[in-house]
A and B are shown apart, each in its own frame.
Chain A
Amino acid sequence: MTGSRAFFYLILLSWQRQARAHLMLWIAGGLLAFAAFLVLANTWNGRWNMSYWRVPGGGGVTYGDQIRAFAMARDLPLAGSAASVTQLAWSTQRLVVDDASGFFVFSNRIVFFLFTTFLMPLWTLSFATEGLGREREAGNLVWVLSRPLSRPAIYLAKFLAAVPWCLALNMGGFALLCVLAGWPGILALAIYWPAVLMGTLALASLFHFLGAFARRASVVAILYAFFLETIAGNLPGHLKRLSISFYTRCLMFEQAHEFGIQPERPSIYLPVSGSFAVTVLATVSIVLLVAGAWIFARKEYLELT
């Protein structure tokens, strides 16, 4: 009873103290504000569609120009069937480019590129490395380690304290960006939130693990996030299978498959199935948590003297 009381209090205390991660919070908040501004600016300018995309890329005309060309052609005094074809082409392209492409563009630009490979790892590490990492660096982990709490319980409590912050930032931040984007974003929120949840838990497990074992855990986690999640996660080949964001995106691809969302070049991207991605994300979360607790139970912190 006293053990569980201490355990739950440690969760509460750690959760409260997480809020004091000022620097990381400011960085996370700043990134959220920047991303929100970006999304809002696109929403205001009506950029959640493909009308400004050029075909072919680079120097071609935009889809918007094509629609306007079809609109002009529609006004020409054409014979019956030709007029019908022009009308059909105009309305189809307008439907696809102007109305239906918003979800595709938002998914590609914001969800897959900005959020999954950059913001989500960074927001998660800003809290998940702090639980043990910051107390270790500050030297005050000694107080918790001196209490009659088992080491695995301490590890688990610190993780459970960090997860609500990670989820709040990732899910909340994602929801905010989605809402600011209008209907494409709201559709994305409804479809992608399970993948964000799974990805957040896996990343939180990983960064909590790093926080317990790596000196300067925040730096190590930032390097990991940058090189493995942001860069390697977007490279062709199998290296990206080491990144959690790859599996998160594969899960998203499967969830949004019916909307025609898929990797740009599947033969190069080599996606895995959604069920496999879920399995990997769940396994990473559990294995890292259990392994972390096991190693933490044996770990000595020589710097705490």
Chain B
Amino acid sequence: MPDLLESTDPSRGDRALEGPLVRAPLSLVNGARIANKSESLEAKDSAAAELGPKTGPPVLFFDRVSRWYGPVIGVNGVTLELRSGITGLVGHNGSGKSTLMRLAAGHLRPDLGAVLVEGRQAWTAEAKRHVGYCPELDTYYEEMSGRRFIQCMARLSGFSRAEARSRGDEVLELVGMADRAQRPLAGYSKGMRQRIKLAQALIHDPKLLLLDEPLSGIDPIGRRESIQLFHKLAGRGKCLLISSHELEELEKLTDHVAIMAAGRIAAVGPLTQIRDLLDDHPLSIRVASDQNKVLATALLDCDDVVGLDRLPDDALLVRARNPRRFFQRLTELVISEHLEISHLESLDESTHDVLGYLLGGKS
């Protein structure tokens, strides 16, 4: 029986991949880049990055992709290249993660730009041969057993009945569902359903795995096993894009993340670099109080304030590094100087807000 992780798609038969499989280094070729509103919104493709060895075409390539839902923009000028390895995709609800996933899975088409999987438009059947998609959606053919569902997915991928059976058994073993796969899907727990979802994404041995919240609902042991599996797959040269709300969860998987905010890739690269940049990068804040002069004097004494301007409406425009520390200091000032703040607004909200939220507890 061929090793599932080494066998190829049905169009090429059940041949094993030629040559030894080498774990691709997950290095960030272009380095981590972080962009605030004033920078990134001007340069549409500012957050481009490549993961994995920079040889051959990328497995997944977003080329200045924009996608609207009527008047609302879901993804805004995203350029992203992924090769082998694991990339975490993190961001607020509504930040565009799922839209990005669905564009890559070929369920949505970009309004502008192109999404390519192995050089083919993601929308096409040829591209889907290389994609394993694990959606967040939790509906199955409920009347079927887990095993039958997986075999169906294998047959819909073009495998013969015998191949579907053997591959189905392999992936079920891989996701730890071999002994429970006979039961109807309708009776599965959330964790079991997640594993089945993962199994169907793996059944045709795709090069690109798009996993939307794959660990949600899985028990701790299952999580550990799944994380090991993801690492194993990445080590086999697969490209995994894993979305999650939780950065902590993703950190166990990979150091490389793409952070989405307001439909843009706000930052992409190693998490440590993103954190360092965030702390060093000045944040623009508009603040007004009943005693602006006192406030300005006090703020100029703060180490984290790198610039201060008076706006036409008498409010202050403060440029500060390390937002968390700055806001902590501002709070202290308000209390000690008995200031009444009438206006406080972060002008780099789209980026810093989400990054601050996501990374705040980690530095």
Contact = CB atoms under 8 A, between A and B. Distances in A.
A147 B156 contact: yes
Contacts of A140: 139-141
B358 interface: no
A148 B128 contact: yes
Given A140-B139, A140-B140, A305-B98, A146 B128 contact: yes
Contacts of B137: 139, 142, 304-305
B204 interface: yes
Contacts of B105: 146
Nearest to A140: B139
A10 interface: yes
Contacts, number: 86
Given A149-B125, A150-B125, A300-B107, A143 B153 contact: yes
A267 interface: no
Interface string B149-173: 0001101111110000000000000
Given A300-B109, A305-B135, A148 B129 contact: yes
B128 A147 contact: yes
Interface string B107-129: 11100000000000000111011
B141 A305 contact: no
B11 interface: yes
Contacts of A298: 109
Interface string B78-120: 0000000000000000000010001001111100000000000
Contacts of B140: 140, 143
B230 interface: no
A68 interface: no
Contact of A146 (B133, B136, B152, B158): B133
Contacts of B204: 148
B315 to A, nearest CB: 41
B136 A305 contact: yes
B143 A148 contact: no
Given A300-B108, A302-B69, A147 B143 contact: no
A248 to B, nearest CB: 35
B5 interface: no
Interface stretch (A1-9, A39-47, A101-109): A1-9
B10 interface: yes
B126 A148 contact: yes
Given A148-B158, A305-B135, A142 B153 contact: no
Nearest to B160: A5
Contacts of A153: 125
Interface in A250-305: 298, 300-302, 304-305
B204 to A, nearest CB: 7
A305 B106 CA distance: 12
Give the one of B11, B129, B155 with max A CB within 10 A. B155
A147 B204 CA distance: 9
Contacts of A300: 107-109
B69 A6 contact: no
B155 A142 contact: no
A20 interface: yes
Contacts of B155: 5-6, 9, 13
B299 interface: no
Interface in A131-155: 138-140, 142-151, 153
Contact of B153 (A147, A304, A305): A147
Given A13-B156, A148-B157, A302-B69, A2 B128 contact: no
Contacts of B102: 305
A271 to B, nearest CB: 45
A10 B9 CA distance: 18
Which of B9, B105, B135, B204 is most buried by chain A, counting CB atoms within 10 A of its CB? B135
A298 B106 CA distance: 11
A17 interface: yes
Contacts of B242: none
B125 A139 contact: no
A138 B139 contact: yes
B73 to A, nearest CB: 15
A3 B158 contact: yes
Interface string A179-208: 000000000000000000000000000000
A2 B108 contact: no
A84 B314 CA distance: 120
16 contacts: A3-B158, A5-B155, A9-B152, A10-B156, A13-B152, A142-B139, A143-B140, A143-B153, A146-B105, A147-B128, A148-B128, A148-B157, A149-B125, A300-B107, A301-B107, A305-B102
4 nearest CB pairs, A to B: A2-B158, A139-B139, A148-B129, A147-B156
Given A5-B158, A302-B108, 19 more contacts: A2-B10, A2-B157, A3-B158, A6-B155, A6-B156, A6-B157, A9-B156, A144-B156, A146-B131, A147-B128, A147-B156, A148-B9, A149-B125, A150-B124, A150-B125, A151-B125, A298-B109, A305-B135, A305-B137
